[in-house]
C-alpha cells in the first residue's frame, strides 16, 4: 500500500485556541497502531497503516463521535452517489480561480487582501452529461459588493445511487478546505467523492492509505 507521513495531518488539527472541554482534543493528532486521525470539526483526515479501515478504537473524547460519523458513511457507501474526477485538474482550476478572485478584490478594494478561507468554491454537476461547473466567489460582501470569477466546466464521471436518479447535484465548500483536501490526496490522480443527495451532507474520499471527510458550506440556490 502507499505510504503517507503522519505529519500531513498537522494542518487538519483545530488551530485556534479553545477553552471548550469538548473541542480541546481536536487540537492534536490521535494515533493508534492501525490509523492516525485529525479533525478541525469541518474536515476529518485519516492516515491508515493497514488495509483495515474499521476505525475500531475508542479515544474517550469527542474524536469518537467524529469517527462514528465516518464509520456510518462507510456502511452507506453503496447507497451514495459517486463523483469521479481528475484530482490535479480540479486542484489547478480552484487554485487559478482563487488567484483571479484575490486579484479582483485587490483591484477594487485596495486595503483588503483575500485569503483562501474567505472564499467559497461551488460545484454544480450535470449528472446526465457528466459535466462539473466550478465557480469561486467571496464569502462576504466588501462595501456592499460580492465578488465572483467566471466559472468553468470540467469532465467528471457520475454514478447514481440505487435509490434515486438525479439530473443535477450541487454543493459548496470553503476554497481553503477543498484545496487542502485535494492536496492531501496527492498521489491519487483519479478521485471519487462519495456524496449524498442533499448538498448539506459531507463528501468522503477514501483510498487504501488515507481518507478525507469534508463538510460543505451553505450555498444559495
Q: What is the pLDDT of residues 85-134, one digit of tens each?
A: 999 999 999 999 999 999 999 998 888 899 999 999 999 999 999 999 99
51-85 pLDDT tens trace = 999 999 999 999 999 999 999 999 887 789 999 99
Same structural domain, 108 and 154: yes
| Structure confidence by residue, pLDDT tens digits, 164-215 | 999 999 999 999 999 999 999 999 999 999 999 887 889 999 999 999 999 9
Do 115 and 24 reside in the same domain of the chain? no
The answer on 33 and 90 residing in a single domain is no
pTM: 0.93
Are 171 and 97 in the same domain? yes
Q: Which letter, b or e, does each residue of 12-36 get, where b requires 16 or more Cβ atoms within 10 Å of its Cβ?
A: bbbeeeeeeeeeebbeebbbeeebb
Nearest to 130 by CA among 79, 178, 83: 83
Asked if residue 163 and residue 60 are part of one domain, the reply reads no
Distances (CA, A) of 26 to 2, 48, 59, 63, 166: 26, 18, 12, 7, 36
147 and 173, same domain (yes or no):
yes
What is the rounded CA–CA span in Å between residue 60 and residue 54? Answer: 17
| Cα distance between residue 28 and residue 48, in whole Å | 17
As a whole number of angstroms, the distance between CA 60 and CA 49 comes to 21
140 and 163 share one domain: yes
Write out the three cell numbers for 25. 482534543
Q: Identify which of 148, 151, 147 has the alpha carbon closest to the alpha carbon of residue 135.
A: 151
115's grid cell: 485569503
Is the pLDDT higher at 219 or at 131?
Answer: 131
Element (H, E) at 205: strand 203-206
Residue recorded with cell 482534543: 25
DSSP class of residue 144?
T
State the total domains in the chain.
Answer: 2
Amino acid at each position: 500500500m502507499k505510504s503517507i507521513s503522519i505529519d500531513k495531518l498537522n494542518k487538519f488539527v483545530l488551530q485556534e485556541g479553545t477553552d471548550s472541554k469538548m473541542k480541546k482534543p481536536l487540537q492534536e493528532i490521535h494515533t493508534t497502531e492501525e490509523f492516525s486521525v485529525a479533525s478541525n470539526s469541518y474536515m476529518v483526515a485519516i492516515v491508515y497503516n493497514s488495509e483495515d479501515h474499521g476505525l475500531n478504537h475508542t479515544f474517550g473524547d469527542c474524536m469518537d463521535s467524529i469517527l462514528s460519523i465516518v464509520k456510518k458513511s462507510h456502511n452507506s457507501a453503496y447507497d451514495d452517489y459517486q463523483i469521479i474526477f481528475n484530482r490535479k485538474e480540479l486542484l489547478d482550476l480552484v487554485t487559478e480561480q482563487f488567484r483571479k478572485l484575490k486579484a479582483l478584490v485587490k483591484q477594487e478594494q485596495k486595503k483588503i487582501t483575500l485569503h483562501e478561507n474567505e472564499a467559497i468554491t461551488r460545484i454544480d454537476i450535470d449528472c446526465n452529461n457528466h459535466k462539473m461547473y466550478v465557480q469561486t466567489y467571496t464569502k462576504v460582501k466588501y462595501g456592499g459588493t460580492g465578488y465572483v470569477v467566471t466559472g468553468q466546466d470540467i469532465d467528471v464521471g457520475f454514478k447514481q445511487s440505487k435509490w434515486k436518479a438525479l439530473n443535477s447535484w450541487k454543493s459548496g465548500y470553503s476554497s481553503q478546505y477543498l484545496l487542502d483536501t485535494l492536496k492531501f490526496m496527492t498521489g491519487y490522480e483519479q478521485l471519487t467523492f462519495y456524496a449524498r443527495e442533499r448538498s448539506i451532507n459531507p463528501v468522503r474520499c477514501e483510498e487504501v492509505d488515507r481518507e478525507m471527510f469534508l463538510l460543505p458550506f451553505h450555498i444559495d440556490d
